[in-house]
Structure 1
């Protein structure tokens, strides 16, 4: 069995054409018409401290560019917000001129071209303040998880961040946030204490259990068309290191590895998280030689238990087939990106996902028929994540996070460029159809683009619609 260092894992998967895309803000189809240009529109923009850019201006491309290159953003105006007041002014200008408002920090969740919108870039709102006694962090809207991880680590604390610390913390959390520690501690949205927002009328407001509790419920999990979050305060958890890493198997062993993993994953205690990904790797010389140009199965593992327990727990998976590479070991939380090894370079990607209530033999076989070596699959990644644990239980303060009834999530991701690009959309649809008989609502952040209304119960859909009408009657916020 080969050994794979932490650094090698990061270099390995930086070359892989996939990523987990979080935090998108798709347009609402039912937006009402807004008024035309007001006489004071120019005066509103004059108060903005950050850059205000139109197509063709210097710095435009850098300001609108994001991680997901599947779309080319073409907003009518970009406001590089230097403060929450800038965000408020941008929203007021949008209302005065009949525009919609989109927001972007890192661009991981970009799922459209933003035409006809004012894009508020929040990347300058990047301050992190950790209170180790309260075990909290106040996070600006432009903060990436890496900043929070590094600020919390000296205190023996960690945020409920996801598989990549390069992702924006706020967008990830507003979509629910399925993190590596979520089976033990719940969705990231469950650990939000308060929010600072700009509502669709262009006013700054505090949002928590006492102030606008309807928005507090909705924003934590439903994300879109509610308010622009400029900062949030979250709980940190007492974690400094984990037993974590990944095990790679050749794709020829996809069936035995999947069947071993699905029964094993269903039996794990709540302090253990795992996922499994079918990966089609490029023949890139940056990859370790055993993996170049191969179809592989990648089992990911994170535990807050002991090393001895981790070794015992992993025996059934390691026995399923010979491993190509195995990197599981003691891992400081500051190095936890090595578990998934998500890419760090911008790339085009589209994805689609669902939850499943169970991953029995029939469901696993239906999935294998779409992804194994004989299937003709062109998707760069098909991933299954074990959910459940604390994610299956109601949050202490109720929120709108979805996926509590799913035992696993299933997500496919493809690159809409190069050979096979035309097959990506149909194969994503076929993957969802294959597991359709077992489907239940999954996490919003893992659902991909499209209509998400089915993720909530009829009662919660009606509640969300009423909250949106109350706080954004003109449909200003995308």
Structure 2
């Protein structure tokens, strides 16, 4: 008879080459800690996988002992604490191999986008990273992946050619459009519901350079810059990628002057086309409000982090997002009422962002995948720092107020990677269309019938027939 949380028998994991640790062991705390410190993991056992064979062995043990399983690479998306069970860390699996003729990268489970950028740069090739190249490639891509250059090239998951994946019974699979196509569908946008990916192959783009950076105005001019940006987004070519952000930055050394400790409104720009054309396109934004800092420049694609300037050190963060149908004048007023200057200088959210969607993000993938959100014209995301109990409570209240205020202008859906802490089934389902959600549940029943992959933003198994 198996206990609900079995005590791991480490001898059964003796074939694993990487470390196998329990609470109290040297290195355990470091092994379970991810970038987002808001989720404190306390698994019964953690396996530091060194390659696919370690993942296979760990999952076969978990399957035999009915032990629930989670996986973590960098922990940027850690928003759900893992208690008990088995945590597989893939942070040692960082190999990246570039095929310059096919313009592809084979990327191991723990590799970061910075590893891919470094490997591709000598060939003038780049991957479709998000706003931080410190994030892991695989977890980001399994959730769809919303790239900085998304309007120009679509979701990162749309560009995956194949996966090496281990299903929860410990069986390795290779899947692509011609081999186990349903598994291939579920992995591209379905997050971690059907298996643990050990590597993927994705397309790279010939993008050695781009025009990118930020146009910063003092926060009191947030409304003028926002209204100008919204009007501007209705006129720009598909290749122009941008985001409007309200920033309330803490006075810490990691933030450069003069931004440190300030209240700012920013438009971030990423343009992969001719730099002169890009400069001409963004000229109206520079006259919309007084500009204090302007970092827009031609940069190597590997320097993508300079566009959004996201935190580089681990911190406890609360993320949330919503997909918006449009930004009407009423929606703009509503947004400013809960995030703009009138919300006050002590507003607890570090960042509230509106990203221009549409263009390639609205087009179907060449091979169908589980990515949703193609009907959204704008994305809204927010981040708050959970520094202490009073601050954490204030962040939660502000997050809830933002969501409630903007709900009338939303599609009702979120993006799984930035959804935040998953709630009940109704809340989790918002990351997919109803059709994709039910299809993902059926795939869950096929590949994980024992529901071993139950941590994080997972879907429930379908109800048994006749129930």
TM-score (norm 2): 0.92
For structure 2, the 5+ residue unaligned runs are 455-467
> Runs of 4+ in structure 1 displaced over 4 angstroms?
33-43, 285-289
Indicate whether 1:343 and 2:314 are aligned: no
> Given the alignment, which residue of 348, 365, 375 partners 1:395?
365
Deviation at 1:292, TM superposition (A): 3.3
SS of match in other structure, 2:56: helix
Indicate whether 1:262 and 2:230 are aligned: yes
Of 198-207 and 456-465, more deviation after overlay is shown by 456-465
Indicate whether 1:446 and 2:418 are aligned: yes
CA deviation profile, 1:123-170 (whole Å, cap 9, x unmatched): 111110000000000000000000101111111111011111100000
Deviation at 1:446, TM superposition (A): 2.6
CA deviation profile, 1:391-414 (whole Å, cap 9, x unmatched): 100000110011111111101111
In the alignment, which residue of structure 1 is the partner of 2:60?
Answer: 92
CA deviation profile, 1:10-68 (whole Å, cap 9, x unmatched): xxxxxxxxxxxxxxxxxxxxxxx977799996553011111100011111111111111
> Given the alignment, which residue of 335, 338, 362 partners 1:367?
335
Would you say the 8 A contact 1:38–1:96 is kept in 2? no
> Given the alignment, which residue of 443, 449, 453 partners 1:467?
443
In the alignment, which residue of structure 2 is the partner of 1:302?
Answer: 270
Would you say the 8 A contact 2:80–2:421 is kept in 1? no
Would you say the 8 A contact 1:195–1:229 is kept in 2? yes
> Given the alignment, which residue of 406, 428, 441 partners 1:435?
406
Would you say the 8 A contact 2:372–2:433 is kept in 1? no
CA deviation profile, 1:354-401 (whole Å, cap 9, x unmatched): 100101111111010001222142111101111111110000011001
In the alignment, which residue of structure 2 is the partner of 1:412?
Answer: 382
Indicate whether 1:245 and 2:213 are aligned: yes
For structure 1, the 5+ residue unaligned runs are 1-32
How far apart, CA to CA, are the structure 2 residues paired with 1:458 and 1:281? 38
Of 414-423 and 67-76, more deviation after overlay is shown by 414-423
CA deviation profile, 1:239-273 (whole Å, cap 9, x unmatched): 10001111111000011011111111232211111
How far apart, CA to CA, are the structure 2 residues paired with 1:270 and 1:311? 15
CA deviation profile, 1:327-368 (whole Å, cap 9, x unmatched): 101111111110001111011100111100101111111010
- Aligned CA distance change for structure 1 residues 287 and 471 (closer, same or farther; 3 Å): closer
SS of match in other structure, 1:351: strand
In the alignment, which residue of structure 1 is the partner of 2:29?
Answer: 61
Deviation at 1:459, TM superposition (A): 2.1
Deviation at 1:437, TM superposition (A): 0.8
> Given the alignment, which residue of 317, 333, 349 partners 1:379?
349
- Aligned CA distance change for structure 1 residues 254 and 463 (closer, same or farther; 3 Å): same
Would you say the 8 A contact 1:280–1:381 is kept in 2? yes
How far apart, CA to CA, are the structure 2 residues paired with 1:279 and 1:297? 6
Aligned length: 446
Indicate whether 1:50 and 2:26 are aligned: no
- Aligned CA distance change for structure 1 residues 166 and 250 (closer, same or farther; 3 Å): same
- Aligned CA distance change for structure 1 residues 415 and 42 (closer, same or farther; 3 Å): closer
> Given the alignment, which residue of 286, 291, 303 partners 1:318?
286
How far apart, CA to CA, are the structure 2 residues paired with 1:192 and 1:288? 36
Deviation at 1:98, TM superposition (A): 2.5
In the alignment, which residue of structure 2 is the partner of 1:162?
Answer: 130
In the alignment, which residue of structure 1 is the partner of 2:174?
Answer: 206
Would you say the 8 A contact 2:331–2:406 is kept in 1? yes
Would you say the 8 A contact 2:357–2:379 is kept in 1? yes
In the alignment, which residue of structure 1 is the partner of 2:163?
Answer: 195
How far apart, CA to CA, are the structure 2 residues paired with 1:105 and 1:331? 28
1:101-116 map, 5 Å: 101-116=69-84
How far apart, CA to CA, are the structure 1 residues paired with 2:337 and 2:125? 42
In the alignment, which residue of structure 1 is the partner of 2:463?
Answer: none
SS of match in other structure, 2:211: strand
Would you say the 8 A contact 1:36–1:97 is kept in 2? no
TM-score (norm 1): 0.90
Would you say the 8 A contact 2:109–2:199 is kept in 1? yes
Deviation at 1:306, TM superposition (A): 1.6
Would you say the 8 A contact 1:128–1:139 is kept in 2? yes
Deviation at 1:452, TM superposition (A): 2.6
Would you say the 8 A contact 2:5–2:85 is kept in 1? no
> Given the alignment, which residue of 226, 235, 239 partners 2:194?
226
How far apart, CA to CA, are the structure 2 residues paired with 1:434 and 1:320? 26
- Aligned CA distance change for structure 1 residues 259 and 98 (closer, same or farther; 3 Å): same
Structure having greater relative contact order (Cα 8 Å, sep ≥ 6): 1
What is the root-mean-square deviation in Å for CA atoms of aligned residues? 1.9
SS of match in other structure, 1:291: coil
